[in-house]
């Protein structure tokens, strides 16, 4: 697939990196979590990047901001899901630290793009 307009958005790049990392790490979650925590954290992580993509494709700034705000909610949801995964022993401290750093990076760039559009 060729370059898409959203590929140039740093917030999307960071969100995409976070989502890919979440998918890779959650492969090791227990099988009984396939339709529970594994599914939830994957959906929340991909929602961050997906909302950036959909918002960018909208015709108006207010629409874009609305989708970026939804993305902000998803990245916040991921913070708790990572915390819970660690508490349940599904993620060791190192994996939690790496994922949280990627989540924070994505959240940082997301906030910058939201501020720039206001």
Residue-level pLDDT at 1: 59
Residues of the chain with confidence (pLDDT) below 50:
none
CB 25 within 8 Å of CB 95:
yes
**pLDDT averaged over the chain?**
94
Per-residue pLDDT tens over the stretch 76-96:
999 999 999 999 999 999 999
Residue-level pLDDT at 45: 98
List the alpha helices (DSSP H) in the chain. 10-26, 37-57, 61-87, 93-117
Instruction: Provide the 8-state DSSP code for 31.
Output: G
Residue-level pLDDT at 28: 92
Which helix (DSSP H) or strand (DSSP E) does residue 101 occupy?
Answer: helix 93-117
All structural domains of the chain: 5-117 (1.20.1440.60)
């Amino acid at each position: 697939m060729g370059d898409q307009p959203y590929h140039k958005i740093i917030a999307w790049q960071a969100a995409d990196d976070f989502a890919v990392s979440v998918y890779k790490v959650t492969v090791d979650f227990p099988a009984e979590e396939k339709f529970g925590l594994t599914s939830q954290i994957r959906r929340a992580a991909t929602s961050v990047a997906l909302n950036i993509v959909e918002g960018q494709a909208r015709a108006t700034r207010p629409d874009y901001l609305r989708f970026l705000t939804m993305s902000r909610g998803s990245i916040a949801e991921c913070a708790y899901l990572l915390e819970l995964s660690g508490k349940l022993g599904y993620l060791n401290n190192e994996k939690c630290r790496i994922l949280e750093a990627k989540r924070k990076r994505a959240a940082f760039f997301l906030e910058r793009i939201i501020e720039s559009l206001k």
